[in-house]
Amino acid sequence: MVTFPSRRSPRAILPGFALSLGYSLLYLSLIVLIPLAALVLKASSLSWGEFWAVVSSPRVVAALGLSFGAAAIASLVNVPLGLLLAWVLVRYEFPGRRLVDALVDLPFALPTAVAGITLTALLAPEGWVGSLLEPWGIKLAYTRLGVVLALVFIGIPFVVRTVQPVLEGLGKEFEEAALTLGASPWQTFRRVILPPLLPALLTGFSLAFARTLGEYGSVVFISGNLPFQTEIAPLLIVARLEQYDYTGAAAIGVGMLALALGLLLLINGIQVRLSRRLEGE
């Protein structure tokens, strides 16, 4: 007697697809979509000319340029630094490794305002580091460089925690085989290690960029908040709210949202194309 395997799908741990999808869409709507829709709706009370006048004013353009530029530079800096830190934590055993691994998450847990006050006290001209750099004419606090440093501090865990599990899954066998076959350390890194890490590095970059783009607490103290120089876009939004200009604040927020969404979609597109190319190889 021939028996056929049952075509019934195995019992799922989570609820069925329809119920899971319903819960997911409800949660996404309550947490993300409805607040964003309210922001767009508030800004829509302005005419197109009034909206464009707000988002294209020189002060807003300067603040948006600083926020996006500093977030991009800090995320680019965090990519090699995060890769190096993840490499040390995964590939080497040393005393205090678990402590260093735990310290990576400190920017996650530390209130951003505390981080801003700490960095400002450290990098100010009278601080421990700032006083050493002051005689050389190097000023970090209340400059754009200080803003980038604060965002590097905030964004580094995103790159490390994204790359670390990929490195753990990438055994040493491939490196040892490449070295045995005569490849140099640089060739081994570029041709064997880097390709499988690229999607994770791009993900870490996009996460760090998205997190640092709207950062307020850690930047507001160290930036100095000088209009057209060190003023970030989130601070400009807060200033509009304090002046009860809710539509103006919403217009700046919608401008940031549109730019951030476009950049993240571009990064995700690059990541998908890169993943497909690696799978094809």
Domains observed in the chain: 48-279 (1.10.3720.10)
- Give the model's confidence band at 9: pLDDT under 50 very low, under 70 low, under 90 confident, else very high: low
pLDDT at 58: 93
- Give the model's confidence band at 2: pLDDT under 50 very low, under 70 low, under 90 confident, else very high: very low
Average pLDDT score over the chain: 86
Global confidence as pTM: 0.85
Per residue in 252-262, pLDDT (tens digit) is 999 999 988 88
pLDDT over threshold 90, residue 272: no
Per residue in 80-133, pLDDT (tens digit) is 999 999 999 998 888 988 999 999 988 888 888 888 888 888 888 888 888 888
Please check whether residue 126 is in contact with residue 51, taking contact to mean a CB–CB distance below 8 angstroms.
no
Within its chain, how far is the Cα of 247 from the centroid? 27
Percent of the chain at pLDDT above 90? 28
Q: Which among 33, 65, 80, 28 is positioned nearest to 197, based on CA atoms?
A: 80
- Which tokens hold the place of 150? 């604060």
Name the least confident of 9-13, 31-35, 121-125. Answer: 9-13
Q: Which residues have C-beta within 8 Å of that of residue 192, sequence separation ≥ 6?
A: 174, 175, 178, 183
Tokens 């353009």 — which residue? 61
pLDDT at 1: 47
Please check whether residue 143 is in contact with residue 226, taking contact to mean a CB–CB distance below 8 angstroms.
no
